[in-house]
Structure 1
Amino acid sequence: MSLEEFYDELNFVDASRENRQKYAQMVLDDMSLFPKLIDVMFRVNDKISCRAAWVFEFVCEHYIYAIVPYLDTFCSNIKKVHLDSAVRPIAKVCSFIGQEYDTKQPNTLKKVLNSKHIELIIEACFDWLIGDQKIAAKAHAMDALFLLGKNHSWVHPQLVQILQQDFPTQSAGYKVRAKRILKKLTPVAINNRQ
């Protein structure tokens, strides 16, 4: 399938879980579509990029290692994404990356994820957290920062500061996630400051 044909196919992706799963399965069955999916996803001013991001999230949820050959592209472009419907799934993929990075078992993602990738993900997540994003994107950013910050001492104190500062003005959903993260981090952040 050509890039143009695949782009046209993405017009039929809708917000239903079943539909996103169907298109993710199409990509999982033919991984030659994955770089095309990334290409469309990073057409950040095109509304179809949001649909591509939805499918991308589902592909990565089922097979996070699909992203490995494209980490440079992914990490160098995530800050450019600005449409709300695309930011949320990309933030969730950052959380998936954090989960794989945090596992005790060696894995391919841990081997190829370098300090530049991590720096770019952390930077994007902090931008989403302090920016004007919806709660879902902020929640996934918190998770990613918590996980990636375990090996980067400056991240957790900064995360605690932002969560405590923004807590009073945020939504109930934000407060629930922030409380959970703060409960895990507050002793760590205090110890890192001493």
Structure 2
Amino acid sequence: MKLKDIFLLCILANNMDFEKLLEERYSKETIHSIATFLVEHPENLNSYLQLIETSEAGTSQRAAWALGHAGVMDKTLLIAYLPNLIRLLEKPRHDSVARNIYRILQFLDIPENFEGIIYDLCIRDLLDPKQPIAVKCFGMTTAFNICKKHVELQPELKIVIEENLEDASAGYKSRARKILPKLKSAEF
């Protein structure tokens, strides 16, 4: 661990509030340190998720970035917080909130009682022309992972992906090229 990381973790351990840290020391190192702190101290996740939900868009964006890193560092960390993540996806304060939540969700084995709402949110965002490409790509993977368990959803996802393919960005097309063949042939 780098000296900067140790310093930032000490600041956090002494109850410096996340919002102030994200505003005053916003950097890649700060984001990594907060993510590490959240993984090592998951008891702080409730207040951290509240910060994402209620803070100004810029702070919410930065906080979501750190949450995304924490979720990738520990794939099981946020399973207990799926209701919070769903609420954040329903009305994200900033595009990066949705992007980072979908980034986390694409790696999770989503419990069955949350699959329906998460799948619906993925489809909503895939159909929304205003959504950034990263939100669509991570949402596409998340929806596909749900389709692995619920084969009856495959035709809908295939149609939604293909509807957007013609005018899509290179990133969207690349992700679609990986997912569509698996949907068509049902190879899981």
TM-score, normalized by the shorter chain, greater than 0.5: yes
1:129 and 2:129 matched: no
Taking the aligned partners of 1:180 and 1:13, their CA distance within structure 2 comes to 38
Cα deviation, 1:63-83, whole Å, max 9, x if unaligned, reads 122213322222243211152
**Which residue in 1 is equivalent to 2:170?**
172
**Which residue in 2 is equivalent to 1:71?**
82
**Which residue in 2 is equivalent to 1:96?**
107
**Which residue in 1 is equivalent to 2:5?**
none
* 1:156–1:44 distance in 2 versus 1, CA, 3 Å: farther
**Which residue in 1 is equivalent to 2:8?**
none
Taking the aligned partners of 2:50 and 2:143, their CA distance within structure 1 comes to 26
SS of residue in 2 equivalent to 1:96? coil
**Which residue in 2 is equivalent to 1:118?**
115
Taking the aligned partners of 1:82 and 1:126, their CA distance within structure 2 comes to 19
Matched to 2:127, the amino acid is I
TM-align CA RMSD:
2.4
Taking the aligned partners of 1:33 and 1:149, their CA distance within structure 2 comes to 33
1:34 and 2:45 matched: yes
Specify which of 41, 54, 58 is matched with residue 47 of structure 1.
58
Taking the aligned partners of 2:55 and 2:92, their CA distance within structure 1 comes to 5
Percent identical pairs in the alignment equals: 24
SS of residue in 2 equivalent to 1:88? helix
Taking the aligned partners of 2:159 and 2:15, their CA distance within structure 1 comes to 44
Contact (CA 8 Å) 1:21, 1:55: kept in 2 or not?
yes
Cα deviation, 1:115-155, whole Å, max 9, x if unaligned, reads 2x111211111111111211111111111111111112332
Specify which of 150, 155, 158 is matched with residue 157 of structure 1.
155
Contact (CA 8 Å) 1:27, 1:33: kept in 2 or not?
yes
**Where do 5+ consecutive residues of structure 2 fail to align?**
1-11
* 1:155–1:41 distance in 2 versus 1, CA, 3 Å: farther
Across the two proteins, how many residue pairs are aligned to each other?
174
1:83 and 2:94 matched: yes
**Where do 5+ consecutive residues of structure 1 fail to align?**
102-109, 190-194
* 1:68–1:137 distance in 2 versus 1, CA, 3 Å: same
Cα deviation, 1:75-124, whole Å, max 9, x if unaligned, reads 24321115222221111112122xxx2xxxxxxxx6xx232x11121111
**Which residue in 2 is equivalent to 1:188?**
186
Taking the aligned partners of 2:151 and 2:31, their CA distance within structure 1 comes to 37
Matched to 1:114, the amino acid is E
Structure 1 residue 6: Cα displacement: 2.4
Matched to 2:124, the amino acid is D
Matched to 2:79, the amino acid is V
Answer with 147-156 or 51-60: which moved more. 147-156
1:11 and 2:9 matched: no
* 1:89–1:150 distance in 2 versus 1, CA, 3 Å: same
**Which residue in 2 is equivalent to 1:106?**
none
What is the TM-score when the length of structure 2 is the normalising length?
0.81
Contact (CA 8 Å) 1:24, 1:59: kept in 2 or not?
yes
Taking the aligned partners of 1:83 and 1:32, their CA distance within structure 2 comes to 25
